[in-house]
Structure 1
Amino acid sequence: MKELNHSAVYVEATRTDIHDIVRTLVDAIGAPAVQQLAGTNDATAPHRWAHPDSTEPDTMTEQRLRLGYRVWLTLQPLEDPQAAVDWLMSPNRALDEERPMDFIARLHAQQVVNTAESLVTHEDRR
């Protein structure tokens, strides 16, 4: 298992091109999940944002997408992409039985990042 580097994950999530972030998230968790975490009702938006020659999301949506990417990068040491997707979509006791996706959509960065880090460092296996 790779060692978790909190600072490197943060830097990558803040500096990576937004189109690359959206493309990675769409490939990893699917466009409907990206739509949910971005907080948009437009089902075509994730595919549009993933295209490098297309428009970019508004500032608030970009913040949600970058947080989602940060959480996704944090989960990479799990080495099982489906386990990471399942974790994002499932109620979590550390998040008051809410889904991590919902915390991302509301930009509750500290709680969702800390919970993801606890998962991959085995401090809390849920």
Structure 2
Amino acid sequence: MKPSNHSAVYVESTESDVRELTRRLLVDLGGPTVQAMAGSRDNTAPHRWAHPEGTGPGPVEEQRVRLGYRVWKTLESLGDREKAALWLLGSNPGLDGATPVAFIAQLHTREVIDVAEAFVLEQVPANGT
């Protein structure tokens, strides 16, 4: 599996409807992970944000959802969603031992994107297959 196109992932994460991004993250990662990414204390908030008639996220939560989606789409290129989901929740030496989800919630964009892209590139065989 080859790494995803960095520019296409960025455009999708910034231009797509946040409700749809939230819905996709909920399907792929589940409510608790999306809640943690968004830095929300309300475990029902991501479900409301994803609902067409629900309340949308506030500006900061929206930034976090968009960043979380960008990281998730980068990791999806691994072709192993379970491994990607575990990576999001695991302690990461490239992030000073914190989890990528925590860095998303803190909006440490450059750091978490760089570490996610490096992780994906490390997993790709040298011949690209």
TM over 0.5: yes
Which structure 2 residue ranges, 5 or more long, are not aligned? 124-129
- Point out where structure 1 has 5 or more consecutive residues left out of the alignment: none
Quick one: higher RCO (CA 8 Å, sep 6+), 1 or 2?
2
Q: Which structure 2 residues correspond to residues 1-126 of structure 1 after superposition, within 5 A?
A: 1-122=1-122
* Distance (Å, rounded) in 1 between the aligned partners of 2:6 and 2:54: 31
Task: Give the Cα–Cα distance (whole angstroms) in 2 for the partners of residues 24 and 98 of structure 1.
Answer: 24
Query: Equivalents in 2 of 1:32, 1:93: separation in Å?
Result: 23
1:35-88 CA distances to partner (integer Å, 9 max, x unpaired)?
Answer: 111111111101111111211100000000000000000001110111010000
Structure 1 moving runs of 4+ over 2 Å = none
| Distance of 2:104 and 2:3 partners within structure 1 | 23
RMSD in angstroms over aligned alpha carbons?
1.1
Kindly tell me the number of residue pairs found equivalent between the two proteins.
123
How far residue 2 of structure 1 moved from its aligned partner, in angstroms, is: 2.9
TM-score (norm 1): 0.94
